[in-house]
């Protein structure tokens, strides 16, 4: 299967070639024909499946004809990082088309955004709050929007954006194409989809379980040894770039500081940072200046760093969905990646929930020559290590047509894997080759 089947404009094909995409991913294969025909689509797909290109390519194709310098496509995303990432993907794919995309999100000066809009762009990638702000001020004209994309709708719902989304809908022409993407389908999103999509084609890709190329391992550890284990694990593992998740802003900063002092090339990303420091952390991580990024869930939302080889859950996520989202950062577009999760004795019940969604037992690993017996410093109490897993977490339903594959060449339930080059690790052969051949930006 190649992209030729879609009969895209040659200038768009150039973008696809430049990014090194040789074959469409399953979400692209399944959704692009319907999107190209102008149909509404509900795409149940998580990050890492290639969903951005699945909607961006048909949008570019549509915009190749018709007026320029008129805002005709609106993409709404939950976070500025995701908005930036989509904007960059459109820039890369559409480089030869001369179509223009602008970003609209809060936390930064609005004037450059207003200027960019007034110069005439065909595509806006926006977060709900700032978009409504600019619309209220009459700085953005949504009356010519032909295509609306709501990306990561479940996350927008989690972040409380649903009322804003409904307000945005009122500003758009009723005759339009609407595409809604969501990794999970909570009731509120299902209802929103029912209200705003017209006779949609539904496409489901691997929803409910993390991207199947990711292999998982649990590292049981006492709370006070987590940082020491993290450093040892990274030293011992053949990693390209590592995204570490901690539970709170404070813990994120603390872990990154401890690692920095120990000489690791690390940056942190959490909601209290200025936009400049966020950008430095993100671009430094993407470009390899920082091999390790320690982040909170919200801050890491939408990060697309094509070469992430490992995700390490320093702290367990709060919900099974959050676990799915986190490890969607690795194993992107069918590369292999590893997801390591530190588990304390308090996390055990929640591990069962995750294994239920994965449909298999996750391997428990210990790191040889790591001293697990170092006692906790007296009087230490680490509130952040207390699990906050909510009761009755949403468990994404298992969907037909998606069966979790056995990972790592068929290692059976909990059976030991062939060990890697160094003790307690697996090498990621072939990963570097992929990176160099398909670098996206």
Under the rule (CB under 6 A), what is the footprint of ligand AMP? 21, 24-25, 28, 47-53, 304, 306, 332-333, 438, 440
Closest approach of Cβ 302 to ligand AMP, in Å?
A: 8
Neighbours of 413 (CB within 10 A): 10
CB of 93 or CB of 343, closer to ligand AMP:
93
CB of 253 or CB of 438, closer to ligand AMP:
438
Coil, strand or helix at 148: strand
For residue 181, give every residue at least 6 positions away whose Cβ sits within 8 Å of its Cβ, in sequence order, or none: 43, 44, 45, 51, 55, 149, 150, 151, 152, 153
Helix (H) or strand (E) holding 354: helix 348-358
Closest approach of Cβ 134 to ligand AMP, in Å?
A: 26
Alpha-carbon dihedral sign for residues 301, 222, 363, 388: negative
CB of 82 or CB of 354, closer to ligand AMP:
82
In Å, what is the CA distance from 161 to each residue of 42, 45, 129, 358?
19, 20, 8, 29
Closest approach of Cβ 59 to ligand AMP, in Å?
A: 13
Can you point out the beta strands (E) in 19-168?
41-45, 73-76, 101-104, 123-126, 147-150
Closest approach of Cβ 335 to ligand AMP, in Å?
A: 8
Closest approach of Cβ 206 to ligand AMP, in Å?
A: 11
CB of 156 or CB of 230, closer to ligand AMP:
156
In Å, what is the CA distance from 429 to each residue of 50, 354, 366?
22, 27, 22
What is the full DSSP assignment across 245-304? E-SSHHHHHHHHHHHHHTT--EEEE-TTS-HHHHHHHHHHHHHTS-SEEEE-HHHHTT--
What is the full DSSP assignment across 60-77? HHHHTSS-SSS--EEEE-
Rounded CA Rg of the chain? 22
CB of 22 or CB of 248, closer to ligand AMP:
22
CB of 393 or CB of 440, closer to ligand AMP:
440
Question: CA 212: distance to chain centroid?
Answer: 15
Neighbours of 109 (CB within 10 A): 8
Measured distance CA(386)–CA(12) in Å, rounded: 50
Closest approach of Cβ 432 to ligand AMP, in Å?
A: 16
In Å, what is the CA distance from 264 to each residue of 148, 230, 286, 304?
43, 11, 16, 22
CB of 52 or CB of 184, closer to ligand AMP:
52
DSSP-assigned beta bridge partners for residue 293:
243, 267
DSSP state of 318: S
Alpha-carbon dihedral sign for residues 161, 164, 168, 170: positive
Closest approach of Cβ 91 to ligand AMP, in Å?
A: 12
Nearest to 186 by CA among 218, 205, 162, 164: 162
Measured distance CA(314)–CA(294) in Å, rounded: 9
Closest approach of Cβ 60 to ligand AMP, in Å?
A: 14
CB of 21 or CB of 323, closer to ligand AMP:
21
CB of 53 or CB of 281, closer to ligand AMP:
53
Closest approach of Cβ 119 to ligand AMP, in Å?
A: 27
CB of 24 or CB of 317, closer to ligand AMP:
24
Closest approach of Cβ 66 to ligand AMP, in Å?
A: 25
Closest approach of Cβ 28 to ligand AMP, in Å?
A: 6
Measured distance CA(432)–CA(22) in Å, rounded: 18
CB of 47 or CB of 103, closer to ligand AMP:
47
């Amino acid at each position: 299967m190649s992209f030729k089947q879609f009969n895209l404009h040659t200038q768009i094909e150039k973008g696809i070639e430049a990014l090194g995409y040789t074959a469409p991913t399953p979400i692209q294969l399944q959704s692009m024909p319907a999107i190209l025909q102008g149909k509404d689509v509900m795409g149940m797909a998580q990050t890492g499946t290639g969903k951005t290109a699945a909607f961006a390519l048909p949008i570019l194709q549509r915009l190749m004809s018709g007026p320029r310098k008129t805002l005709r496509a609106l993409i709404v995303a939950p976070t500025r990082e995701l908005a930036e990432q989509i904007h960059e993907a459109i820039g890369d794919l559409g480089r030869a088309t001369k179509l223009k995309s602008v970003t609209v999100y809060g936390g930064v000066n609005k004037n450059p955004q207003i200027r960019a809009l007034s110069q005439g762009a065909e595509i806006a990638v926006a977060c709900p709050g700032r978009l409504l702000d600019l619309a209220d001020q009459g700085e953005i004209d949504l009356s010519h929007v032909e295509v609306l994309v709501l990306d990561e709708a479940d996350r927008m719902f989690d972040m409380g954006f649903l009322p804003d989304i409904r307000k945005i809908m009122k500003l758009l022409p009723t005759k339009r194409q609407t595409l809604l993407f969501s990794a999970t389908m909570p009731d509120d999103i299902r209802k929103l989809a029912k209200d705003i999509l017209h006779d949609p084609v539904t496409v489901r890709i691997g929803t409910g379980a993390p991207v199947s190329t990711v292999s998982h391992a649990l590292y049981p550890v006492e709370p006070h040894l987590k940082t020491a284990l993290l450093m040892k694990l990274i030293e011992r593992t053949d990693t390209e770039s590592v995204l570490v998740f901690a539970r709170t802003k404070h813990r994120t900063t603390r872990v990154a500081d401890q690692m920095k002092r120990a000489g690791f090339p690390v940056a942190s990303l959490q909601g209290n940072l200025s936009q400049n420091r966020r950008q430095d952390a993100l671009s430094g991580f993407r470009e390899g200046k920082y091999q390790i990024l320690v982040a909170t869930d919200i801050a890491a939302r939408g990060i697309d760093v094509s070469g992430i080889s490992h995700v390490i859950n320093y702290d367990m996520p709060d919900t099974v969905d959050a676990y799915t989202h986190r490890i969607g950062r690795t194993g992107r577009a069918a590369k292999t990646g590893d997801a390591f999760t530190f588990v304390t004795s308090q996390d055990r019940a929640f591990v069962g929930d995750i294994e239920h969604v994965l449909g298999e037992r996750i391997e428990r690993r210990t790191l040889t020559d790591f001293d697990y017996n170092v006692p906790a410093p007296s009087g230490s109490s680490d509130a952040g290590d207390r699990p906050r897993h909510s009761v009755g977490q949403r468990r994404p339903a298992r969907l037909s047509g998606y069966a979790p594959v056995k990972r790592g060449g068929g290692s059976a339930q909990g059976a030991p894997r062939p060990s890697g080059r160094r003790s307690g690790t697996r090498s990621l052969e072939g990963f570097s080759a992929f990176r160099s051949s398909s670098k996206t930006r």
